[in-house]
Amino acid sequence: MEYNGQIEQLAELIETHENVYALTGAGISTDSGVPDFRSPGTGLWEKVDPIAVSSVDVLENNPRLFYEAGFSRFAKISSAEPNQGHRVLAELEAGGYIKGVVTQNIDGLHIKAGSKNVWEVHGHLRTGYCLGCKKKYPFEELVHQVELKRIPPVCHNCYSVLRPDVVLFGDPMPIFFFELQHKLQMECDFMLVVGSSLVVYPVADLPRLAKNLAIINNQPTDYDPKAVVVIRKSISSALGDLQQKLCTT
């Protein structure tokens, strides 16, 4: 089916389902200057082994390495701004077309764009906390200390190391993730996957819980054969075209 027909079909599917949820991955944020993880030639994980620099084990045993080798990408991500794709999903939620957004991204761009129901399953970069006394800090405090070469950044109360509020390799998933799984299994009659390669578990298992599925992604995924619609095009432009079709039907 040609592209315009796919957009028309997707718009019809969204209009005819009651409980539509979006699931987004790194691909939706590339137009905001946030590199994804696996695209050939540009993916972050092609350049650095995340387990070697951004895991819980590294943070706890070699915090200087964690902050010197892996933290700069967190700081860069935190300053990104939403693009058309994020704004479209916020507007689709406001218009009642989707119930909310489940995201693997830690960039906070869905919330910046105005989405209200957002499940940030891998955490976010708005805050951090102390590994010792658990005191919360704005993420800017971690950035500020690193910029002043106070590495690793430490708590003002107990002088233990600070960490960002993100799910690192070796961290458990947040408690609400398991409640979300149940919610999707009970409610989700249509899931729109946007910009995710669907290889990072347990999030990659979520599309299985939806009764119907569509995918907008530049690269193939293992779920493509199960999807009603698979679109390979710029995510921002595809979502913009989808919004236009929904608003004119």
Q: Which residues are catalytic?
A: 122
The answer to whether residues 126 and 138 touch, using CB atoms and an 8 Å cutoff, is yes
The answer to whether residues 112 and 81 touch, using CB atoms and an 8 Å cutoff, is yes
Neighbours of 247 (CB within 10 A): 12
Q: What are the C-alpha distances in Å from 82 to residues 89, 176, 240?
A: 11, 25, 14
Cα separation, 129 vs 1, in Å, equals 49
Q: What are phi and psi of 13, to 5 degrees?
A: -65, -40
137 forms bridges with which residues in the sheet? 128
Cα separation, 189 vs 100, in Å, equals 13
Q: What are the C-alpha distances in Å from 132 to residues 6, 138, 154, 157?
A: 52, 16, 10, 9
The answer to whether residues 235 and 28 touch, using CB atoms and an 8 Å cutoff, is yes
Amino acid at site 22: A
Q: What are the C-alpha distances in Å from 153 to residues 80, 122, 163, 170?
A: 22, 22, 8, 21
Cα separation, 186 vs 167, in Å, equals 26
Per DSSP, 69 falls in state: I
